[in-house]
Amino acid sequence: MSDSISEAFLLCGGRSERLGFPKEMLRVDGAPLAVAMAARLQRLFSSVAVVSNRPAYVEHCLKVPVYTDAFPGLGPLAGVHAGLTHSRSGSAFFLGCDMPLLPDEAIARVTAAASASSADAVVARTPRGPEPLCGVYRKGLLPAVESRLLAGRELSIGEFLKDSGAQFVEFGWQEAQWFRDIDRPEDVSLLKEAFTEVEPLPVRRQPVTRFGGPPLAEDIVVEERPVALRVNGIHLVTILCLPAALTELAAGYLSYLGLAGRWGDLKRIQVDYEAGRVSAELALDEDSLRSAVRLQISSSCGAGIYGPPLPHLTDAGDAGFRVRADHILDVLTKLRSMAPVFERTGATHQAAFTDGQAVMHFYEDVGRHNAIDKVIGRALMDGTDLTHGALVATGRLNAEMVVKAVRQGIPVAATRSAVTGQALELAGAYGMTVVGFARAGRLNIYTSRHRVLPR
């Protein structure tokens, strides 16, 4: 690829109305589609950034800059404007996040043509028409783009390309298949042509009859499915959950039981999303597994039902983890805006792990326990140091959730909701800091107060 086109922008600004879910957050190979597509561009370009109308969705999981449209809601032309505004070179390649089938060969043809052309825009074209979100745009176009957006004139990027004298790189009928995008629920299956693992759409449309208020013919509802977790061939538990990030869910749940303290303890883990099954292999004897099964059906209360002994969390002086009160409040304020399923359905809890500076891991689920398991599971997979950070969640914090955190040595757990008495007894016994009702500019610190610093 020519050195003259070294910068690329991934556009994630579509409304995804027909899909019912933001395309960039469809999960493939264990991560949002935006992460996979950005990583792909990083293999081809020395500088990569993302443009999104919903930056909170992706900022915590991307390793590239994320910019927001200055003209939100005005379509892909506004995305090109945002990219050119932040461009550090004379020209940049733009790609729509929802075109995962486009091969490197197609990108190379467009960038090579742009390098040899004096046109301000060089984009792909198939027999179906121009493909504006596979093209190179020069920074000299910025005034014309901004003028059109400010005037509210014709916002079609195709019309703009005509007016700007764009050059087209021709692709045939067979190659047109590369440009298929994810637009409707049935299109999600296209992702299987590009990725090994494709998770199901986490929402669906449901016909509804409404009395009162504006008319409503259908609503978007969350998908909740039973998932069976089997360990060494033994059925351990069936979990009702959002059918997403099941590897993380299994890893976190096994950590909670004390069966897998590290990611390395899992010899193998296999997810079958269609069957709703996760199969894991651990280096454990059958008696240990049988004990874990009995733990699932125990009706007792107290620390004794939570498996192997828990570690005591201690630190001396200022050597241990400390977190500012305003950081806890800030993260909890942002959690719902980071959750695409919640924003579409209002039906999930959220959980995150922060190192005191930024969110490192975030998940949502229909069950508040599941959301925490997914966060811890992802942290184990990535080798994150959980002993230096805080677990934050939107749901009520009970004893089991404290155990999940203590098991991995997490020193602080905070929620915007209530805390149970049993949770506080466990936290006090094991030296964990618990924060509740962290919202509206205030919070309650119940145990080990030294770890939370004033604003």
- Separation CA 145–CA 147 (nearest Å): 5
Residues of the chain with CATH 3.90.550.10: 7-193
- Separation CA 5–CA 353 (nearest Å): 37
β-pairing, 323-324 with 349-354? unpaired
Asked whether the CA dihedral 132, 133, 134, 137 is positive or negative, the reply is: positive
Q: How confident is the model at residue 419, as a pLDDT?
A: 98
- Please indicate, yes or no, whether the overall pTM of this predicted structure exceeds 0.85: yes
Taking a C-beta distance cutoff of 8 angstroms, is the pair 48, 41 a contact? yes
Q: How confident is the model at residue 306, as a pLDDT?
A: 63
For residue 66, the one-letter residue type is V
Pick the CATH number of 225-305 from 3.10.20.10, 3.90.105.20, 3.40.50.1000, 3.30.420.270: 3.10.20.10
Q: Which helix (H) or strand (E) holds 72?
A: none
Q: How confident is the model at residue 1, as a pLDDT?
A: 35
Contact partners, residue 287, CB within 8 Å, separation at least 6:
none
**CA 180 to the chain's CA centroid:** 23
Instruction: Collect the ranges in the chain with pLDDT lower than 70.
Output: 1-3, 153-154, 292-307, 316-319
Residue labelled with tokens 């009928």: 173
Sheet with strand 442-447: strands edge to edge: 359-365, 349-354, 390-393, 412-415, 433-439, 442-447
Interhelix angle 368-382/399-407, rounded to 10 degrees, is 0
Contact partners, residue 440, CB within 8 Å, separation at least 6:
none
**pLDDT tens, position by position, 180-220:** 999 999 999 999 999 999 999 999 999 999 999 999 999 99
Percent share of the chain, pLDDT over 90: 82
Asked whether the CA dihedral 298, 303, 308, 313 is positive or negative, the reply is: positive
Task: Look at domain 323-453 and name its CATH class.
Answer: alpha beta
Q: Which two tokens stand for residue 424?
A: 């506080």
96: helix, coil or strand?
strand
With CA atoms as reference, report the closest residue to 421 among 454, 450, 398, 455.
Answer: 398
Q: Which two tokens stand for residue 150?
A: 């400010």
Residues of the chain with CATH 3.10.20.10: 225-305
**pLDDT tens, position by position, 411-433:** 999 999 999 999 999 999 999 99
Question: Does the 7-193 domain belong in CATH 3.90.550.10?
Answer: yes
Residues of the chain with CATH 3.40.140.10: 323-453
